[in-house]
Structures are given as C-alpha cells and as structure tokens.
Amino acid sequence: MVAIVIDDEVLAVEHISRLLEKAGFTVYAFTNPLEALENEILKSADVFYLDIEMPEISGLKLAEKIHTLNMDCEVVFITGHNQYALEAFDVNAIDYLLKPVTPVQVERSIKRIVKRRGDKAPYQESVRNDKKRVHVTLFGKTSVYTDEEDKNIRFMTVKVAELFCFMLLQKEDAQISKWKLIDEIWPDKDVNKGSINLRSTISRLNKTFREKDIQISLKSARNGYQLEVNEDIEVDAFLLRHIADKNYILTEDNLMYFEMVILKYNDMFLEDYDSEWCEMYKTLYHRYFKMAVKKLMEYYKRGQQDTLRILNIIEWLVRFEPYEEEIRELVLTLYHGSYGRATAVKYYEDYEKLLKKDLDMEPGEKLKRLYQTLLQES
C-alpha cells in the first residue's frame, strides 16, 4: 500500500514516514505541497497524511485538489491545533492527528484505513502478540481504552475507578491489605460497611475488565490484594515520571516524544477524586512535571528549534506554571529575538501585572536584569 506524507516540517515528515514504513507501507514524502501535486504518484496512492498548516497551501485545500486527481484515496490530517477538526472531517478525512504525532496515533489511523479499504490494504502490524494495548489517562478525568476500541471504558461507579487508580499507583506487584484499602478509599465507613463496599467494588472492577476481555484484575493475595496486569499498558503519568528521571537524556531524536508526554499533562492529576490519599500523588506528579519542563527549557536554550513551535508549547505549559520565571525568561528572549522590542515589552509588562494582581509581587531580579539587557540591545 502506498502512503504519501506532506508536511513542511522536515522532522515531522521523517517521523511519520518511519512509522508508516515500519507498518509495511511504501512511503513517498514531500515538504513542498506544490511539488507533490506535480508528481504522478498522487493518482495511485492509497492514503495521504497532510499537514493542515503549510505556507504554500493549506492541507484542507490540498485535499480537495488531491481528490480531483485521485477519488479512491484516504486522507489523514495532521496539525498542532485542534480547531480544524470539524473542517478536516468535512472533506471526508478518515482521521485527524494532533502534533506531536505519536506511534499510537499513527497505529490508530492505519487500523481505520485497513477497516475502510479491506483487502486493498495489506497492513502488517508493527507488533504482533496476544496482548491488548491498554491506555490509561490519570491527568484530568480518568479514562481507560484500548487500541481496538477508542471509546473509554465506563466504570460502574466513581469508587470503582478510584480503587483501580489507587492500585495502579502502587509499586509493581505490591500487596495492599484490606484494612489499608478501606482506610484510604472509604475512610468514613466502619469496618463492616467498609468490607462490604470493598468486596462489591472489587467485583465490579473485575467485571468491567472481564466484559471488555482485558486481562486486568484485582485479586486476593497472601497479604491482601494485588493488581494483576497481563496486558501492554501505557499510563500517561508513568511516561511523565520516566522522562523526568535524571537518567533520561533529551535529544533531537526523542524531542517530539518528550514534548508529547509533557503535553499529556493537560489537567489536574486524579481530577475526579478528593480523597486524602490523592494529595501526595498530586504533589509528586506535579513535581515530575516541573522537572520535565525544566529539562525541556534547558534543551530549548541550547538548540535551534522552530521558534513558533517552541512558543506554542511553552505558552501552553505556562498555564500550569504561571510564575515559573525560568520559563518566562526563555519566552521573553524568544519574543525579543523573533518579534522585536515592542512584543517583548508587552510580554514583560503583562507578566508584571499578573504577578502584582495574583501575588502582590514583582518579577525576580534575574528576569528584571534580562529585561533591561534586552532593552539595551534593541
């Protein structure tokens, strides 16, 4: 099967092309959409991966032109902003991927293509085994889904979901006593009622996964209960913990993955629960987030990445760390270097007002000195 990737960002083209080639596709890649339109291969290609935001022509317009040349093709759109989703599906796109694009997203799009095209698509899965790929989101509302089924699994009650999250966050193969579970999940219940609630919740948790044919269960162990996971499981919080580790080195090769993991931190950790046990984990994983952000900022300072891309990512991160002045220093420098003195002045003054309003404070001395230095260089 032939796939064509068109994106004006070289790294994005290479990244997606590698993933498609690994899955068994013949791939043609272009960074210039107008050049791609002149190539005869467009008329026979099976699927197109198109960046929406390109300077020569938008991906949406490009898709319309491609369809006039090749009616029997599928289109997958790629972009850094989700506001184009409805427009993308208006031109019959089969999928829509948000940057930074992950292997999971590409895998999902390929499966949709296979389902749509049937025997026309001799797809070879990159990983073949009997285990399901289970994705768990702990940032924001808890969600669990598999590659085979995009829809979130519905837990019967909030306590079922909370018990699953609690056990998932314990050390691997940890055995948690019945009494600890009751104390943490049902602190307001006496032993008898707590025991009844625990048994009922465990039964519902196991039933939920069993009905979805997912091999995850909470089982009785010698010293209490233990979560058994016999699937390939990806937990957003664990990915963040991994990249925040001091032994994880950020490089050009893993930059897109690193950014993707950080961008999963899009809401409060364990947002659905207000139990006391959650507070420690909320603090811990926000610390991991700050460590990862610091690592990313240091990398940006050393590298020569696209300024607009960096600013888009950083401005998103600032929502969670609005008073982190190391981030503000980098943004101020980028604004000054790319957009000039007036933009830098406005950015600094807006931050100055925010600090005064929220904390009744002034910017730190290091940020002040940087600001004065930039003004003198203008």
pLDDT in tens, 195-205: 999 999 999 99
Q: Are 95 and 76 in contact (CB under 8 A)?
A: yes
Q: Kindly report the number of other CB atoms within 10 A of residue 26's CB atom.
A: 13
pLDDT value at residue 226: 93
Per-residue confidence (pLDDT) for residue 378, from 0 to 100: 66
Tokens, residue 35: 């050049």
Q: Name, of 32-46, 140-154, 330-344, 358-372, the range with top average pLDDT.
A: 358-372
First and final C-alpha spacing in the chain? 54
Nearest to 149 by CA among 178, 111, 183: 111
Dist CA 306 CA 310 (whole Å): 6
**4: enclosing H helix or E strand:** strand 2-6
Average pLDDT over residues 213-233: 90
Residue 217 near residue 210 (C-beta atoms within 8 A): yes
- Provide the whole-model pTM: 0.62
**Residue 153 in tokens:** 């699994």
Residue 158 identity (one-letter amino acid): V
For residue 312, the model assigns a pLDDT of 80
pLDDT for the residue 369: 93
In whole angstroms, give the CA distance from residue 324 to residue 77: 34
> Are residues 4 and 28 in contact, defined by beta-carbon separation less than 8 angstroms?
yes
Q: Find all residues with CB under 8 Å of 49, minimum gap 6, and list them.
A: 3, 4, 5, 6, 7, 16, 20, 76, 78, 97, 109
In the chain, which ranges are continuous DSSP H helix? 10-22, 33-37, 59-69, 85-90, 103-117, 158-168, 178-185, 191-211, 236-244, 255-263, 276-302, 307-317, 325-339, 341-359, 365-377
Give residue 83's pLDDT. 54
Average pLDDT of the residues of the chain? 86
Band (pLDDT 50/70/90 cuts) for residue 207 is very high
* Domains of the chain: residue spans and CATH: 2-120 (3.40.50.2300), 133-233 (1.10.10.10), 306-378 (1.25.40.10)
Q: What pLDDT score does 91 carry?
A: 57
Q: pLDDT tens, 316-361?
A: 888 888 998 988 998 898 889 888 999 999 999 999 999 999 999 9
d(CA 138, CA 167): 13
Q: Of 294, 303, 305, which Cα lies nearest the Cα of 327?
A: 294
